[in-house]
């Protein structure tokens, strides 16, 4: 086992996040609006606080969430009628807040988000549209935003039909987006086949984007954690998770253990080893190994991936931990055509929460897996 996989990085990363926040007073990025990336950063910090026994990390999440949640359970800057799956993700923090305080406003806020999903626009097979403004489209990103929330909400508030719904979403998008040749999943699917980025016969986008599959991989392990052992779809979801992870190992860079921005295009001009997707895959595999969803044979590749992240993508200095080679954002729309050239043209950044949050989540899971072993 390499030094990179034995040093506890989670505390360093969380301290770096806190340090940046304290230096700026309060983190304007997190406070600006209710959104999926700030929500993931807050969740990662809260998990770090619980796992490492550091209350100030949990307080970071609480302080920022409380700027959004009103006494009546309303959510500042959130609008249900937008019907946007991205807006669900920050709500995952409500469950810990409700468990910790018992305050009904957190339950009411969760009820509001669940109401959005229950009435959310759908494909003919019941798949949740990614957004109202993206009709009949399912993106892998949306599975992470909404399905784990549905599963946990169903468990906490005794709504088993919502756990069924989470399973349905996971299985449907996999069936619709999986490439049988590689086992990889395309970024998006348009049932109407109307979008410029969609294949006219299949409705699929053109490429396997690393972070899109990262979102989906994390969605699967985070949902499964809330499924009862007797759920009729549990074994199927575990099975397709293992099959998908096997496909990811086929495109893992053998030298560094990392994954490319466009997964199956290693060596093609402009492609690069990307941080957020690599962190998400390591997180999902480490959690899958810890909870028994993956066979132990995946351990070597997972640990190599984590060591590669630390060795090739991170740096430490007096300001803390820095993460590089993060794709700032990518999507599918009229001006984002899903081509290879599009994915490699998106801005590459350092230290943005889109990559730092998955790095913290991956570090926590690797450390839990190692401690359990």
231-262 tens-digit pLDDT: 999 999 999 999 999 999 999 999 999 999 99
How far is the C-alpha of 265 from the C-alpha of 262, rounded, in Å?
Answer: 6
State residue 31's pLDDT score: 78
* 2 confidence band (pLDDT: 50, 70, 90): very low
State residue 20's pLDDT score: 80
How does pLDDT run across 84-138, given as a tens digit for each residue? 999 999 999 999 999 999 999 999 999 999 999 999 999 999 999 999 999 999 9
The answer for residues whose C-beta is within 8 angstroms of residue 199's C-beta and 6 or more apart is 193, 205, 206
Catalytic residue among 141, 164, 222, 335: 141
The domain segmentation of the chain, as residue ranges, is 3-372
What integer is the mean pLDDT of 31-43? Answer: 94
Cα separations in angstroms, 289 against 8, 57, 210, 240, 296:
19, 26, 21, 15, 7
Region of 28 (left: φ > 0; alpha: ψ -120 to 50; beta: rest) is: alpha
Tell me the torsion sign for CA atoms 270, 29, 366, 220. negative
What integer is the mean pLDDT of 198-224? Answer: 98
Tell me the torsion sign for CA atoms 49, 304, 280, 151. negative
Q: Residue 3 above 80 pLDDT? A: no
State residue 362's pLDDT score: 98
State residue 7's pLDDT score: 60
* 29 confidence band (pLDDT: 50, 70, 90): low
State residue 24's pLDDT score: 57
Q: Residue 10 above 90 pLDDT? A: yes
State residue 189's pLDDT score: 98
DSSP label at residue 310: I
Cα separations in angstroms, 147 against 43, 58, 88, 222, 349:
16, 23, 9, 9, 28
What integer is the mean pLDDT of 336-363? Answer: 97
Give the global pTM. 0.97
Residue 84 DSSP SS3: strand
- Please, what is the average pLDDT of the chain? 95
Cα separations in angstroms, 38 against 45, 61, 147, 162:
11, 10, 18, 25
How does pLDDT run across 11-27, given as a tens digit for each residue? 999 999 998 876 655 56
How far is the C-alpha of 122 from the C-alpha of 213, rounded, in Å?
Answer: 21
How far is the C-alpha of 312 from the C-alpha of 294, rounded, in Å?
Answer: 26
State residue 32's pLDDT score: 84
Q: Residue 179 above 80 pLDDT? A: yes
The token pair that represents 219 in the structure block: 């969605």
Cα separations in angstroms, 205 against 5, 88, 227, 239:
36, 24, 30, 25
Q: Residue 1 above 50 pLDDT? A: no
Q: Residue 347 above 70 pLDDT? A: yes
* 55 confidence band (pLDDT: 50, 70, 90): very high
State residue 25's pLDDT score: 56
Q: Which fold has domain 3-372?
A: Glycosyltransferase (1.50.10)
How does pLDDT run across 67-85, given as a tens digit for each residue? 999 999 999 999 999 999 9
Based on the residue annotation, tell me whether 141 is a catalytic residue of this protein: yes
State residue 26's pLDDT score: 55
Hey, what's the torsion of the CAs at 135, 137, 141, 142, to 10 degrees? 60
């Amino acid at each position: 086992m390499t030094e990179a996989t034995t040093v506890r990085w989670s505390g360093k990363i969380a301290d770096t996040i806190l340090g940046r926040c304290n230096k700026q007073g309060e983190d304007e990025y997190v406070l600006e609006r209710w959104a999926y990336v700030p929500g993931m950063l807050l969740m990662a910090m809260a998990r770090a606080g619980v796992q490492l026994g550091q209350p100030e990390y949990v307080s970071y999440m609480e302080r920022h969430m409380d700027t959004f949640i009103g006494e009546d359970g309303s959510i500042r800057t959130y609008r249900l009628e937008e019907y946007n799956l991205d807006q669900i993700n920050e709500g995952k923090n409500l469950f810990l807040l409700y468990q910790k305080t018992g305050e009904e406003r957190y339950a009411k806020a969760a009820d509001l988000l669940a109401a959005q999903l229950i009435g959310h626009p759908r494909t003919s097979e019941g798949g949740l549209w990614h957004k109202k403004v993206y009709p009949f489209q399912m993106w892998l990103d949306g599975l992470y935003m909404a399905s784990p929330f549905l599963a946990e909400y169903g468990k906490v508030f005794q709504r088993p039909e919502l756990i069924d719904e989470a399973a349905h979403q996971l299985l449907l998008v996999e069936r619709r987006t999986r490439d049988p040749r590689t086992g990889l999943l395309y970024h998006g699917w348009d049932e109407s086949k109307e979008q410029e980025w969609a294949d006219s016969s299949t409705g699929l986008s053109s490429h396997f984007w690393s972070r899109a599959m990262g979102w989906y991989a994390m969605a699967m392990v985070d949902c499964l954690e809330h499924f009862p052992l007797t759920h009729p779809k549990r074994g199927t979801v575990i099975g397709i998770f293992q099959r998908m992870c096997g496909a990811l190992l086929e495109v893992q860079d053998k030298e560094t253990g990392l994954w490319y921005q466009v997964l199956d295009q290693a060596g093609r001009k402009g492609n690069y080893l990307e941080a957020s997707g690599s962190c998400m895959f390591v997180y999902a595999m480490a959690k899958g190994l810890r909870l028994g969803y993956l066979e132990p044979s995946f351990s070597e590749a997972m640990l190599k991936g984590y060591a590669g992240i630390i060795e090739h993508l991170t740096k430490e200095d007096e300001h803390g931990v820095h993460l590089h080679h993060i794709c700032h954002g990518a999507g599918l729309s009229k001006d984002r055509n899903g081509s290879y050239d599009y994915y490699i043209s998106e801005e590459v950044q350092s230290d943005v929460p889109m990559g730092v949050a998955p790095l913290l989540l991956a570090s926590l899971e690797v450390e839990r897996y190692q401690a359990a072993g």
